[in-house]
Structure 1
Amino acid sequence: MTDQKLIEYITSCVKNGISRDAIEQELLRSGWNPADVAEGLNTACEMTTPRETPPPVSISNNESESDAGKVSAAPAGLSTRKKSVGIVIVAGIVFFVVVGGVAIGWSLSSGQKEDKSVLSSEGDGNENEVPAVSQFDSDTPRANRQATKQDIEQYNEQCKSAGFSSPLSVDDFADYSFVGDPPIPDDADMASNRYHLIFSYLQDKNRVYYYCQAIDGADPASFVVLSEGYAKDKNNAYYGYRAIIGADPASFVVLSEGYAKDKNHVYYLGKIRTSADPASFVVLEGKYAKDKNHVFRKGWMIADADPASFVILSEYYTKDKNHVFREGRAITDADPVSFVVLRNHYTKDTNHAYYAGQVIADVDLASFVVLSEYYTKDKNHVYYLGKIRTSADPASFVVLGNKYTKDTNNVYYLGSILTSADPASFVVLENGYAKDKNHAYYGGRAITDADLASFVILSEYYTKDKNHVYYLGKIRTSADPASFVTLSEYYAKDTNNVYFWGQVIADADPASFVVLENDYAKDKNNVYLKGQVIAGADPASFVVLEGKYAKDANNVYLKGQVIADADPASFVVLENGYAKDTNNVYYIGSILTSADPASFVMLENNYAKDTNNVYLKGQVIADADPASFVVLSEDYAKDKNHVYFWGQVIADADPASFVVLEGKYAKDKNNCYYRDRLAVEKAQCE
């Protein structure tokens, strides 16, 4: 029986958007038995609803590979901390909530409560700060986005889930706007909590909010979101909700990879790096940086690294004239002159071959070759993750794909022998399936009772034979193989039932069931979104529109939710989240109370206007003149009175003579501009 903690760990990782391959590699590198890993992955993935790949998420763990979408290291007890979108999570085993600067969690493996300080200075080795999470990665200021009622309801619910009371009132939703216009989450993001509104900046006319609290002293009028989780106003620079003590907002600039600097200091994740020299500090690739004196990885100085000769070899490996480093740690006895990266974690030099920085024993370098991310071999041995597989024959050993390999004697899945498999007849099929003369296989295990003569692959998830239907290799006893067909990636049906992600949709009518667009479906009785009934929807008149909108004879819907007071007869979808009917204009399902539907028209680059106002992403541009307003480029617009950069007035710019140049430069008769301010390099405008 597979360890339940292992299954819980994998399930949590999958739910947080980490790929199956990343989870698998980390567990195997941590020493877990390959057969247990395979079984755990199959079980957990069957338990976990498949879904689209989520957008990249900022993750930061001290002393670990922690780029977006990478799983954190899994030690023996599975007490693995993963910081995802600002919430510290022990993947299925420990859950941390940050309260007042201290992360408090409980470990299922130990049963002990843990306290982890999140207020740290340079050198304490702790990066588990209540983090700032940039909802977009650009240093281009963006127009604010008006919050919807649904946004504030979701925000307040997320505050409650995190153990806080929200300072925002749903009744006053029209008073709030998102600073810097973070991207709009789709229904999958919201349902799975992959998108956290509480890690966006919001403001009203008096305050700026972040993480369920007002930011002390923040000035809404001058507050701008930068990138990498940073923001600033006329008084301070900020990382998340916390002012960066000692930062100079006038000279404060965000670099990349979590780094920022001003005239006095360098910062990583909002903390001063006292050993760094701002004048010579430059960011390299992959969270590396250097100045004239030192090299840094994730904000921490790499001991004894030489900045003059330091080079990045790959995601994991770097070197200088004296040392080779793996993730910032020197590899003992590695030769920097001859050291080369072969593939991912495999490397070699004149003396050794290495896996993950560790010497591979007994290697014959002359014949050593990398076969895949898991396997290598030489004339004497086959190696799996750097360890000798004594049962494998190097002369006949081949990689088949889908994690399967074989030699003359055996078939292997993730380094373990499939005892029932016949190597002579074993072939890999599509979507992770394989077969030999005796069995069909999925994920390294034989599919029980499969009839090879009639076995067919229907999709990534479904297979069938004359006797059974299988979902991810497991029999679905309720399904009828004779009539079973897949309707889309996730929907399927037979004579008796309709299925979504392998589960029966209660009371759905197979005979009349049809799949629509955007995960909608319907039968003679109901309309469904992702397998769930939309209460009250009329299937006879239901149609899917663009931009996640839909309507029937009675209502208009956005992501399955009724838009109050919308008129389905006159409702039309425009572009970029806008829609209108006879009575109202809508932006992402919320009414724009000031908009006139009769005169409302779309412009370019997310702008719109009516008789009275100009809009950018649902928000009125104050004092803009709709009659003379023209969009000049992705960044610039103007009317008879003003020039605008992403909806913000450029002070003193002359609209009559204003022209856009290349590279976000522009000029008028008086000045040269870069983005929303006077350009330092005026030669760009000549």
Structure 2
Amino acid sequence: MKKYTFFLACVLLSFCISCRDIGKLVNKQKSSSYFIDSKGQIVYCQNGNWFSLGVSQMQADAESFEVLAEDIAKDKNAVYFRGMTQKLVDRNSFYVDNQIPKDRFHVYYIDQVLGFNIIDGADPKTYELIKNHTNWARDKDHYFYADDMIHVDRQTFSFVNDYFLKDKDSVYVSPNIGDFKSVVANPGNVEAINKYYMRIGNTIYYPPFEQGSASIAKSFNSIQTIRVLDLDVICVNNKTILIRGKNFKYDHVDVPSFQLFTVDEKTDFYAGNPYSKDKNNVYFNQEVVPGADVKTFILIGDDFGKDAKNVYYQKQLLKDVDAPSFKKNGDFYKDKRGNKFSALTGNKV
């Protein structure tokens, strides 16, 4: 009876949702959120989802109302973002240029809750977004990140990788991970190793991902080779392994044979899994997994691995487990002997 009542309630709810008439879209090619209702009034309902997000009744002039983008519109009196009047803009000269709100005086940054903020110093005529660099833009004189002007040399500024930048004077940490700041003076030989690491001469740098930290720098007498294993892990000169910019914890790791365990063999994707190996050992978080067989060890999930005879949770040997039959089943790992372990904690249940 309870199941039937619940099913009936769901049906009635779906019926009510489908029957709510918000009105007709003003311009379905440009927006799925601005409607004109049966009374001829303009309303805003994000993606038509009135049940979850509600409907905003607007004081807009229906006759002159024009949709400019998904959330942006105007009428003869005002400019609107998500149904809210934008008081900072010049209505008469306002336009949308490649999803960027502009008027003859200003360029605007969109705060998804509050609406438009003026980007100080931005030139409306030449301001443009930079392809493949989220939140970055430039005009004829400056670069910008979000709504902030970035004080660099406009003519020589460029992206080293996703987290380091440079101009003729300096190398910088990108503001997408904290404060925009100089790392070191630019000696002229700055190059990307991958999306995280960069190299300047014989020094390798890793971004300061932790709040309040500094970039991690590791210097070498010389750099002959760099083997990139993933975004966080590189091997230098076949002698040093850097993980997130720091030396591998286990001192006796065999660098030439060192490799990560592939999570997805089809794409060779590692996904930051903490297991790795060399010709001598299997490692978890850079520490030896005692007794693990290098030749037969495989990953079977987050924090779980097994070889031909044994199963491991992180570095811990799971005793009396049948390795060949041990596999994930829902939220647990099980074997044919009836053993059952939590996929989240590794505890036996």
Q: Output the TM-score relative to the length of structure 1.
A: 0.37
User: What is the match of residue 616 of structure 1?
Assistant: 327
Structure 1, unpaired ranges of 5+: 1-262, 265-277, 284-288, 296-306, 313-318, 321-335, 601-608, 624-686
Choose which of 534, 558, 573 in structure 1 pairs with 2:284. 558
Distance 2:185 2:227 in 1: 18
Report how far residue 501 of structure 1 moved.
2.6
CA distance in 1, matches of 2:88, 2:172: 35
Give the CA deviation at 1:535. Answer: 1.2
Match for residue 419 of structure 1 among 120, 125, 142: 120
Tell me if 1:282 matches 2:7: yes
Match of 1:470, as an amino acid? Y
Offset from partner CA, 1:389-417 (integer Å, 9 cap, x none): 3533455511434xx42233321112122
Q: Partners of 2:297 and 2:171 in 1: how far apart?
A: 42
1:360 pairs with 2:71: no
Q: Secondary structure at the match of 2:172?
A: strand
Match of 1:544 among 237, 260, 263: 260
Query: 1:469 Cα deviation (Å)?
Result: 2.3
Instruction: Pick the structure with more strand per residue.
Output: 2
Q: Which one-letter code corresponds to 1:352 in the other structure?
A: I
Contact 1:280–1:291 (8 Å) recurs in 2: no
Residues 282, 494 of structure 1: alpha-carbon distance in 2 compared, 3 angstrom cutoff: farther
2:216 corresponds, among 501, 505, 514, to 505
Deviation at 1:428, TM superposition (A): 1.6
1:441 to partner: Cα distance: 0.9
Structure 1 counterpart of 2:96: 398
8 A contact 1:400–1:406 mirrored in 2: no
Matched, 1:515 2:228: yes
Distance 1:439 1:518 in 2: 30
Q: Note the 1:378-397 alignment, pairs <5 A.
A: 378-385=75-82, 386-389=84-87, 391-394=89-92, 396-397=94-95
Q: Is the 8 A contact 2:157 2:167 kept in 1?
A: yes
**Aligned residue number for residue 444 of structure 1:** 147
Cα shift readout 1:282-329 (whole Å, capped 9, x = no counterpart) = 38xxxxx5366xx4xxxxxxxxxxx7x5124xxxxxx54xxxxxxxxx
C-alpha distance in 2, partners of 1:344/1:518?
39
Label 1:591 to 1:390 Cα distance change in 2 as closer, same or farther (>3 A): closer
> Structure 1's 391 and 567: CA in aligned 2 closer, same or farther, altered over 3 A?
closer
Looking at structure 2, the residues matched to 387 and 526 of structure 1 have their Cα atoms a distance apart, in angstroms, of: 58
Partners of 1:479 and 1:585 lie apart in 2 by 52
Do the aligned partners of 1:529 and 1:560 also contact (CA within 8 Å) in 2? Answer: no
The reply to whether residue 530 of structure 1 matches residue 244 of structure 2 is yes
Match of 2:137 among 420, 428, 434: 434
Instruction: Write the distance in 2 (CA, Å) between the matches of 1:495 and 1:553.
Output: 31
- The SS at the match of 2:198 is strand
Quote the Cα distance in structure 1 between the aligned partners of 2:280 and 2:320: 25
Aligned to 1:495: 201
CA gap 1:594/1:445 in 2 versus in 1, 3 angstroms: same
Q: 1:433 to 1:481 in 2, by over 3 A?
A: farther
User: SS where residue 98 of structure 2 aligns?
Assistant: strand
SS for the counterpart of 1:311 is: helix
CA offset digits 1:352-389 (Å, max 9, x no partner) = 3336633333x222343443455222344322341133
Aligned to 2:249, the other structure's residue is in SS state coil
Structure 2 letter corresponding to 1:464: K
Gaps of 5+ in 2: 46-53, 111-115, 209-213, 264-272, 339-349
1:253-402, aligned counterparts within 5 Å? 263-264=1-2, 278-282=3-7, 290=10, 295=13, 309-312=15-18, 320=20, 336=21, 338=23, 343=31, 346-349=34-37, 350-354=40-44, 357-361=55-59, 363-372=60-69, 374-385=71-82, 386-389=84-87, 391-394=89-92, 396-401=94-99
Write the distance in 2 (CA, Å) between the matches of 1:387 and 1:595: 65
Contact 1:410 1:417 in 2 (8 A): yes
Q: Cα–Cα, structure 1 residues 399 and 360, in superposed 2: closer, same or farther, change >3 Å?
A: farther
| Structure with more relative contact order (C-alpha pairs < 8 Å, separation 6 or more) | 1
- Using the aligned pairs only, state the percent identity: 25
The 2-side partners of 1:591 and 1:389 are apart by 65
Q: Residue 585 in 1 paired to residue 310 in 2?
A: yes
Q: Work out the CA distance in 1 between the residues paired with 2:187 and 2:67.
A: 43
RMSD: 3.6
Describe the SS at the equivalent of 2:125.
Answer: coil
What CA distance in whole angstroms lies between the structure 2 residues aligned with 1:472 and 1:347? 41
Q: Structure 1 536/369 Cα, relative in aligned 2: closer, same or farther at 3 Å?
A: same
